[in-house]
Amino acid sequence: IIETSILLLFYFNKHNFVMLFQVAVIYTFLLKLLPLSTSNVYQYLWRHYGASTMKLYGEFVKTRLQLDKLRCDLTFIRTCKREELIPTFARIRLANPYLRNSKVARQCAEAVLQGEMKFKKRLLTQSHRHSNRLLQEFNQCVPRLISIRLRSIAEQIVAKRRERVETQHLSNLNKLRCKKVSKLDRRSTIDPITNLSSRTLNTEERNALINGLHHVYPSNRFDHSRFVCNVEYFYARLLNLRTEYRHYEQKNANENVVHQLSSVQLNAASQFRSTANSITKMAETELKQVGEEHQRTFGILRSLAKDQSIVITRPDKGRGVVLMDRSEYVQKMETILNDPSTFTVIDHDPTIINEDRLTRTLLRLKKEGFITNEEYNIARPVGSRAARLYGLPKLHKANNPLRPVMSATKTVGYGLGKMLTSRLSHLRNSPYVVKDTFDFVNKIKLSTNLTKTMISFDVTSLFTNVPLTYTINYILDQMYPACSRICPPRPRTKHCRACKKRRDFEILLRTATSETNFLFDKKMYVQHNGVAMGAPLAPVIADIFMAHLETTLMDQLKQSGVCEW
């Protein structure tokens, strides 16, 4: 009745725009008077028109929600393409993290975005047709006025959902924009190459060094046999073909495995073969071009390595490449080595003599049962050489001082240091040691002094400043306490069992620490105090000394006002 009266009013007053506006207002008012809302719409339909109409309306609302969600997703994807953003679903997970920002990974992400957009558009067309079909069926089940009201209720539901989706998409876009800006900032501010030398690098030399000193160039040869095996294995898995042999069994070389394939499978196999051949040709062409580029890079690196006026090394903290003038580098290293309390210059190479003496000592200790056969094999030196000393520039400090690092691999005491590390590991335990970041966070959470001020101390050149004699005596007192007898002045054969073990362990400790000779600038040195950074026993000795020092001074620290250490 209401709909008929409104239509009559509209018919008789269609030439009067004022009356037409009044009719629209009345029509809107009457629509709001209907006993329908978002909270009772399904109950109303079920009560007046049945369960089938209610289900039809629910499917219509669901389709409208899907349509609106697809439009919002398409807008999000278009924005990502326009602003060159890569959403999470389009990122390719790569085994090599250095390829994440490569051109190939970028092209793959763009292809994923393009495919997702085509899929969304196709799904949008199908959903739109399905929505129109549902609306036609629904209009046949309810009066026109009720249908209009129900469509307005559906739009309200869709509007609420749209607001949440748009908010989520906007949040994701802002995160992607911030990530992109941060990457651009890192690329523009962080330079992996620090040139402290007088040589000026050109663009080709910088491109050759920018990958770092640990970069490994891939091979330019295509492994054809492995590629064919992988393709055949993939096709066999695709067809679910299995042999009678397990993965750990081997078949005879003369035995042929024959599979009965259908014509469709044979056609697919030929297509696989043609595709594999085209991939092989493309890969060989690409690898040839890459190999030529790598050869040019290798030539540039060789020319830099032949330049005797510069030194190419890495920084002390982090990664990168540092170029220094050789004269400045040698001068700073000699300033460190000229300290007579730590280093001494010698005129001969005692490597062979030290190796022979240590071998005889280890053999004697093995016969006496002081060390096991496994420890003897670890500690026994074979084909030893003198250590090499080099310096790493500290770029975070003024004047870029050098940190001396010893390459102790294949030295006389290298295996001995690894063996002693396992024996001394229990002395490194201390309640004042922080193992890692998680341990630090847990200790902060359990601390009762959160209102206090936290400060930190740094030890200047810890390894070289460790008092070696004092630390060795402390280790001996902890592991092999001195006996009450007067054993030290006597010969070793007249020592007691405890003093023999103490004396033998002292010999091993001094051999692994103070008898290491190294080479720098064609000169031979011996470090007789402190421990060398790079030796396997160095961090153990430093940790033991610092733990003992902290335990000894803890009472004085607490009297000075330290609440927690």
Residues 184-233: tens digit of each pLDDT: 655 545 788 889 999 999 989 988 888 888 888 888 888 888 888 888 88
- Residue range 339-362: average pLDDT? 89
What is the DSSP secondary-structure string of 60-91?
Answer: HHHHHHHHHHHHHHHHHHHHHHHTT---GGGP
The answer to whether 394 and 318 have CB atoms below 8 angstroms apart is no
Taking residues 365-369, report their average pLDDT: 89
Question: Tens of pLDDT along 266-292?
Answer: 888 888 889 999 999 988 888 888 888
pLDDT of residue 490: 59
The Cβ-side half-sphere exposure at 475, using a 13 Å CA radius, reads 31
As a whole-number percent, the residues of the chain with pLDDT over 70 amount to 86
> What is d(CA 165, CA 72) in angstroms, rounded to the nearest whole number?
7
11 CB-side CA count, 13 A: 6
Q: What average pLDDT does range 69-95 have in this prediction?
A: 87
Instruction: Note the residue count of the chain.
Output: 565
Give yes or no for residue 19 having a pLDDT over 70.
no
Q: Is 3 exposed, middle or buried (0-12, 13-18, 19+ CB in 10 A)?
A: middle
Res. 331: pLDDT tops 90: yes
For position 476, what pLDDT does the model report? 86
- DSSP 8-state symbol, 148: H
In this structure, the number of other CB atoms found within 10 A of the CB of residue 277 comes to 10
Q: How confident is the model at residue 14 (pLDDT cuts 50, 70, 90)?
A: very low
Q: What integer best gives the mean pLDDT of the chain? A: 82
Residues 158, 64 contacting (CB under 8 angstroms): yes
**Coil/strand/helix, residue 419:** helix
Give the span between the Cα atoms of 96 and 104, in whole angstroms. 13
Rounded Cα distance between 564 and 454, Å, is 9
Q: Residue 1: what pLDDT?
A: 46
Tell me the C-alpha distance between 514 and 524, whole Å.
14
290-322 pLDDT, tens digit per residue, is 888 888 999 999 999 999 999 999 998 888 899
CA distance 550 to 430: 9
pLDDT of residue 549: 87
pLDDT band at 404 (very low <50, low <70, confident <90, very high): confident
Q: In this predicted model, which residue has the larger pLDDT, 130 or 251?
A: 130
Amino acid 76: pLDDT: 92
Give the strand pairing for 402-407 and 387-393.
antiparallel
- Does the pLDDT of residue 6 top 60, yes or no? no
Domain boundaries, the chain: 34-185, 193-245+262-313, 343-560
Say how far apart CA 311 and CA 427 lie, in whole Å.
40
Judged by average pLDDT, the poorest of 75-79, 99-103, 355-359 is 99-103
Give the chain's radius of gyration (CA, Å).
Answer: 40
pLDDT at residue 483 above 80? no
Least confidently predicted of 34-38, 318-322, 456-460: 34-38
Q: How confident is the model at residue 515 (pLDDT cuts 50, 70, 90)?
A: confident
Q: Residue 20 above 70 pLDDT?
A: no
Q: What does the pLDDT look like over 135-157, one tens digit per residue?
A: 888 888 888 877 887 888 888 88
Of 239-253, 363-377, 460-474, 517-531, the least confident:
239-253
Mean pLDDT of 230-246: 75
Q: Which two tokens stand for residue 424?
A: 């001394």
In the predicted model, is pLDDT for residue 376 greater than 60? yes
Q: Which of 35-44, 144-153, 159-168, 316-325 shows the lowest mean pLDDT across its residues?
A: 35-44
| Residue 461 clears pLDDT 90, i.e. is over it | no
Sheet holding 310-313, edge to edge: 193-195, 321-325, 310-313
Would you state the structure tokens that stand for residue 360, as one six-digit string? Answer: 């005889």
